[in-house]
Amino acid sequence: MKYLFTLAALAYAPAHAEMIDADDVGDLPVADVIFLGEVHDNPMHHENQARAIEQIGPTALVFEMLDRDQASRMPDNLPDMAELRALLDWDASGWPDFALYYPLFSAAPGAQVFGAGLPREAARAAMGQDLDQVFLGDATLFGLTADLPAAQQHDREALQARAHCDALPEELLPGMVDIQRLRDAMLADAALEAVTQTGGPVVVITGTGHARNDWGAPYMLTQAQPDLRVLSVGQFEVIPEDRPPHDYWIVTDPHPRPDPCEMFR
């Protein structure tokens, strides 16, 4: 589907970003690591990711949806969808239907698979702890030993509040931001490991929020390894109110779903 944008919408895009049509995702610039964002349950976003992966031909795929243990179960030859779904114990993971994700594996069947996910129970256990105590890699390398600037901390807490329908007690918000930082660092760490082991290019599959260039996993990765060419693609269901912090971004139709805030009313 083609999308037309007004001049007002164009004003949202920073100088380094470019809005592209979904068809153009198959012609991205060359990079060492490409972050492909998504709204997790939107089938069109996964179709766009699969198209990009086919064009890129990555040596490695990094998934937010898999932890290291799950990734270690990947066989040398890609099995069919039902077998891989069972092998990864996908149905217990809480992620959307595996049928949305299997085409990403099959778009690069020879790619090495890396897991960067933080299981829910591990996230709960990490709440309230210092990030350098729970991150398994080099916390300093990814900026986890430093406090965020006050303005960014405020903005990120506000985002967490909105993402949880403004239903969370305020005292929980700093911990939620810490967990997001931890997830970002795990993605950046896995991407760095993947490009080191395989030479790249590496594709990272993650939520669009984690694919932000200003403070997400791409930012952490470039801080840790400045010589890497890193590219970020965000996918949205509406034109963002603020400037999207991605190199490229796509707007698709929204996927129909129940109102996630209904349970809080």
Q: At what angle do helices 173-198 and 150-163 cross, to 10 degrees?
A: 100
159 closest CA partner among 142, 179, 144, 139 = 179
Residue 199 tokens read as 């030479």
| Structure confidence at residue 121 (pLDDT) | 84
Q: What is the mean pLDDT of each run of 10 residues along the chain (265 residues)?
A: 30 59 93 98 98 98 97 97 98 96 98 95 87 93 96 96 93 96 98 98 98 97 97 95 91 93 78
| Structure confidence at residue 127 (pLDDT) | 87
| Structure confidence at residue 16 (pLDDT) | 54
206 closest CA partner among 75, 125, 114, 139 = 114
| Structure confidence at residue 8 (pLDDT) | 30
* pTM for this prediction: 0.92
In DSSP notation, 43-104 reads HHHHHHHHHHHHHH--SEEEETT--HHHHHT--SS---HHHHHHHTTGGGT--S-HHHHHHH
**What gap in Å lies between CA 157 and CA 155, rounded to an integer?**
5
| Structure confidence at residue 243 (pLDDT) | 82
Domains of the chain with bracketed CATH: 16-240 (3.40.50.11550)
| Structure confidence at residue 128 (pLDDT) | 84
